[in-house]
């Protein structure tokens, strides 16, 4: 699917979108041309840039990032990729997006983390899409220094709109438990940096509980929160938003049977659930396709769709000025209140 030409009259918000998961073959060719890199034939390229039918887990899924990351090792490539992704999103009807990436993954050819962040911000500034940037720390071994450096860079560039507005923790959740990152997020909290954490995707409800205890105001995925009813109530009472990504959760087998996907149950329980793409190029999806998928699974009606969009506005890491503008565009009167 060439997602750059999929246009939409509907309006959408995407709060959970990884830059390196949004590299389409078209973008890959542009980045390779800029750097004099030879890519494989188109059929092989498309296979390397998208998830395969035999994907059995999140760990398998993460292998799809190797080629995109290798193409994003210069300032020019990072800036151009962000610009092209934002342009495509706007054509798809996205009126606000939060693009996340891990600066430490883009230092293989001489860039510093700060160089990478400045390049991404340059691409964002060149685009006409209303958007923010989330800096990802990475689960893993031997990269504690790099994670703390990401927090320091986030502190330096932190703003409340149009730039770096939050941090995240991404990577192999089952191999590197959330509970191991308490000190990292204590530092972020000390600096006043808002954060989301990937949790409850490849690990259980305890992972979400740890993220909540750290002070996360949003949870990436949160699929397995239903395992702990008391935790669900804590999440609801504290207005913690879930960034759910249906196609991604199906492809990584975060849910065994999508008929049991908990998104609508969370919505009914009053949790601020949102719909997002995660890695649109890898999954061959768009935000419009994600909404259609949930509608097909559960019969999503217009009021529920509007509630999901309202939740996304409320949860966005951006200023009240931007949120007010988004609410006007979507016909939402005030925080949590739908304009019928």
What residue numbers bound the domain in which 55 lies?
10-328
The tokens for 164 are: 């770096």
Has residue 6 got a pLDDT over 80? no
Give the mean pLDDT of 54-73.
Answer: 82
How far apart are the C-alpha atoms of 171 and 181, rounded to whole Å?
Answer: 13
Q: Residue with structure tokens 């390779």?
A: 32
286 occurs within a structural domain? yes
**Number of residues that make up the chain:** 340
Distances (CA, A) of 283 to 64, 247, 248, 263, 294: 10, 7, 7, 19, 15
Has residue 340 got a pLDDT over 60? no
How far apart are the C-alpha atoms of 38 and 41, rounded to whole Å?
Answer: 9
Q: Residue with structure tokens 């958007």?
A: 131
More confident call, 319 vs 4: 319
pLDDT at 54: 67
Burial of 32 (0-12, 13-18, 19+ CB in 10 A): middle
pLDDT at 50: 83
339 occurs within a structural domain? no
Give the mean pLDDT of 196-221.
Answer: 98
- Name the domain count of the chain: 1
129 occurs within a structural domain? yes
How far apart are the C-alpha atoms of 316 and 235, rounded to whole Å?
Answer: 17
338 occurs within a structural domain? no
Instruction: Output the pTM of the full model.
Output: 0.94
The tokens for 174 are: 């089952």
| Cα four-point dihedral sign 41, 47, 48, 54 | negative
Give the mean pLDDT of 257-276.
Answer: 98
Has residue 5 got a pLDDT over 60? no
The tokens for 142 are: 């031997």
Give the mean pLDDT of 81-107.
Answer: 98
- Per the prediction, the chain carries an average pLDDT of 94
Residue 244 and residue 223 in contact, taking contact as beta carbons nearer than 8 Å: yes
pLDDT at 338: 52
Give the mean pLDDT of 91-110.
Answer: 98
Distances (CA, A) of 116 to 20, 108, 122, 143, 309: 13, 11, 10, 17, 31
In 93-159, where do the E strands start and end? 94-101, 131-138
Whether residue 213 lies in the annotated active site: no
| Cα four-point dihedral sign 43, 49, 51, 55 | positive
Has residue 335 got a pLDDT over 70? no
Domain of 83, CATH number, reads 3.20.20.140
Per residue in 310-332, pLDDT (tens digit) is 999 999 999 999 999 999 999 98
Catalytic residue among 80, 98, 201, 243: 201
Per residue in 21-63, pLDDT (tens digit) is 999 999 999 999 999 999 989 888 988 888 877 676 666 777 7
pLDDT at 4: 35
2 occurs within a structural domain? no
283 occurs within a structural domain? yes
65 occurs within a structural domain? yes
43 occurs within a structural domain? yes
């Amino acid at each position: 699917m060439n997602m750059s030409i999929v246009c939409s009259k509907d309006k959408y918000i995407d709060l959970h979108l990884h830059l390196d998961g949004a590299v389409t073959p078209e973008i890959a060719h542009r980045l390779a041309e800029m750097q004099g890199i030879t890519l494989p034939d188109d059929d092989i390229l498309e296979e390397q840039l998208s998830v395969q039918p035999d994907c059995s887990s999140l760990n398998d899924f993460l292998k799809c990032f190797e080629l995109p990351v290798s193409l994003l090792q210069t300032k020019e490539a990072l800036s151009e990729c962000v610009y092209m992704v934002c342009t495509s999103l706007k054509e798809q009807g996205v009126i606000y997006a939060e693009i996340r990436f891990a600066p430490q993954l883009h230092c293989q050819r001489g860039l510093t983390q700060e160089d990478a962040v400045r390049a991404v911000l340059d691409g964002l500034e060149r685009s006409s899409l209303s958007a923010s940037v989330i800096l990802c720390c990475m689960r893993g071994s031997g990269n504690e220094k790099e994670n703390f450096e990401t927090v320091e860079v986030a502190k330096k560039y932190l703003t409340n709109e149009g730039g770096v507005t939050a941090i995240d923790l991404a990577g192999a959740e089952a191999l590197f438990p959330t509970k191991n990152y308490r000190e990292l997020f204590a530092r972020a909290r000390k600096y006043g940096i808002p954060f989301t954490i990937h949790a409850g995707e490849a690990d259980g409800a305890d992972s979400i509980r740890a993220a909540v205890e750290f002070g996360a105001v949003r949870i990436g995925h949160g699929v397995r929160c239903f395992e702990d009813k008391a935790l669900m109530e804590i999440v609801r009472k504290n207005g913690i938003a879930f960034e759910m990504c249906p196609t991604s959760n199906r492809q990584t087998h975060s849910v065994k049977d999508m008929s049991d996907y908990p998104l609508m149950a969370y919505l009914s329980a009053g949790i601020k659930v949102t719909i997002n793409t995660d890695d649109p190029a890898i999954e061959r999806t768009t935000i419009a396709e994600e909404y259609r998928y949930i509608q097909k699974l559960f019969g999503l009606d217009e009021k529920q769709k509007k509630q999901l969009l309202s939740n996304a506005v409320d949860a966005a890491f951006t200023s009240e000025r931007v949120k007010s503008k988004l609410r006007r565009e979507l016909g939402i009167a005030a925080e949590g209140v739908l304009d019928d």
